[in-house]
Amino acid sequence: MNPETSPLASSCPEPTPLLAGDGSAVPAPSPAAAAAFAEVVAASVGPSDRAVDTAASDGCAQAAAAEAMLELGGAADVSVGPPSNESPTSGSTAVASNPRRRAADAAADAAPPSNPTGSAHLPVLTWPAVIAGMIAVLIILGDVGVRGFAFGTLVAVLPVPFYVALALWLDRYEAEPPRVLARTFVWGATVAVCIAMLVNSYAESMVGSVFGAHAASVFGAVVSAPVVEELAKGLVLLFLYRGMVDEFDGVVDGVVYASMVGLGFAMMENVEYYGSSLAEGGQSSMVTFVVRGMMSPFAHPFFTSMIGIGLGVAREGPRDGRRHIPPMIGLGAAMALHSLWNFVTSDDRWFLGAYVLVMVPAFVGVLWLVHVSLRREGRVVRDHLLPLVSDAVIGPDELERLTRVRDRLAATWRAWRAGGMPAWRARRELHQAASELAFHRWRVQRGISRGADADAERDAEYLARVCELYVACATLHAAPTPGPDAGAGAG
């Protein structure tokens, strides 16, 4: 949407004068800012032309007020209309006289674009998980019994929240949809585990029938398990890469989704290990907990992150035949690291050396790639939101806050201190909406398109949400905290 050519741009009336707390006039909004906010208001009111015109006029004033308040660091007490010492009339309500509450309601009502993730097109993340999950549970119950399954589940779940929080912490600019993250985790705990159990068991039995039990055990750990498990986990990443073009934007997203599927797989795999160790005695259970509980949840996401990084590089790189190369390299690296891990964990003589010399440096390398990718995402946000500054939709200071992780964190902290939970939530939603708008424009620029009309509609939806949340954040930040008698009519 180009605010300058918006159908409401020419009809947006002169706003009522805006006055700061010291009585000085606040500059009127630019036509672009007024038109952009008018679009927001027009979309939320009824069909009455008069209602649209009135709301748009108020919206123009609010847009200018928001711009002025944020330029002044939220210190200005901005009011609409001429100065007046009159007290509120007896018919005023708490909501009408409380700008903080009005802004909180506006932020809550700012609905995101419909189905932005495309998750409705991924039923494969649901029904196979249900079926495979039941099969996996039945197999584990048959191996360890009800008591072992209950114990294994209880212990296997303990480290998962910590690792999930760590993975989500990496995604600082455009947070992934919680529902898709949960489904990805469940895929790892159900479909990937079921495939691994069935295929690995069959492969080991075939090798054992020819070469003996020891050869089958080595083959299963070093060859079959790395190949089958990484393919099973990587399959959902491929689904997400192809079906979630509005969300899978690069290396960071690939690592986050890979961590989710890897954690799900590690949790369910550990249920069986813990259940089996319970029958072997306390010492065995403790060793298993340390090796499996502390290191395995780290290992599986780490291996599968190689695939996620490969897909992320493909998304960020040139859209030609070469984009198939990074995912294949990532898959090979995941299998190789997984095979090495399984080999060294079976022999104490090699474990510590391989862990320190191979696993730790490789893990540090992943963190470095995530850091580089985060800096790239910051540049994407800056480049594609810069036109909003020239159009006076957001101020230059706001752009700076949106393009640096530390500034985003500082802004959310200030919002919390100034306006409590509503302001904190509105600020976080503004960051998310601005990132979604920037990455949507980045994808369209790269030719990742759903069609010109659909792209323009999505852009307008994101822009409207940014405008509305920007106003809400400014109002929540500047409005004084109401006292216990706020909103009460004059007696």
Write out pLDDT tens, residues 261-279. 999 999 998 898 888 877 6
Residue 307 predicted with pLDDT over 70:
yes
How much is the pLDDT for 380? 94
Angle between helices 225-243 and 193-211 (to 10 degrees): 150
Identify which of 406, 417, 421 has the alpha carbon closest to the alpha carbon of residue 172: 406
Residue 18: pLDDT above 60? no
Question: Which of 120-124, 159-163, 173-177, 250-254 has the weakest average pLDDT?
Answer: 120-124
Give me the pLDDT at residue 480, please. Answer: 53
* Mean pLDDT score, 219-228: 94
Query: How many other C-beta atoms can be found within 10 angstroms of the C-beta atom of residue 216?
Result: 19
Q: What is the pLDDT of residue 94?
A: 40
Average pLDDT value for residue range 370-379: 92
Locate 9 and state its tokens. Answer: 């741009």
Q: Which two tokens stand for residue 355?
A: 């862990």
Q: Which secondary structure element, helix H or strand E, spans residue 378, and what is its range?
A: helix 360-390
Q: Is the pLDDT of residue 479 over 90?
A: no
Whole-number average pLDDT of the chain: 75
Residues 282-289 have a mean pLDDT of: 55
| Number of continuous H segments (helices) and E segments (strands) in the chain | 19, 3
Each residue's pLDDT tens digit, 19-64: 333 444 434 444 554 454 455 444 443 333 333 333 333 443 444 4
Taking 60 as the threshold, does the pLDDT of residue 15 lie above it? no
The pLDDT score that the predictor gives to residue 423 is: 87
> Structure tokens of 38?
């008018």
Share of the chain above pLDDT 70, in %: 67
Partners of 34 in the beta sheet? Answer: none
* Structure confidence by residue, pLDDT tens digits, 64-123: 444 444 443 443 333 333 333 444 443 434 434 444 444 445 444 444 554 444 444 455
3-state secondary structure of 18: strand
Local confidence band at 487 (pLDDT 50, 70, 90 cut-offs) = very low
Is residue 430's pLDDT more than 80?
yes
Distance of CA 64 to the CA centre of its chain: 31
DSSP assignment string, 303-363: HHHHHHHHHHHHHHS-SSGGGGHHHHHHHHHHHHHHHHHHHHHT-HHHHHHHIIIIIHHHH
Question: Is 305 exposed, middle or buried (CB count within 10 Å of its CB: 0-12, 13-18, 19+)?
Answer: buried
Closest CA to 434 of 406, 462, 459, 454: 462
- Whether the per-residue pLDDT at 407 is higher than 50: the answer is yes
What is the rounded (10 degree) CA torsion for 344, 349, 354, 360?
A: 100
Q: Which residues contact 156 (CB under 8 A, 6 or more apart)?
A: 267, 268, 270, 271, 274, 293
User: Among 54, 29, 51, 55, which Cα is nearest to 41's?
Assistant: 55
C-alpha to C-alpha distance for 173 and 374, rounded to whole angstroms: 8
Rounded CA gap, 264 and 37, in Å?
43
pLDDT above 90 (res 144): no
Amino acid 215: pLDDT: 92
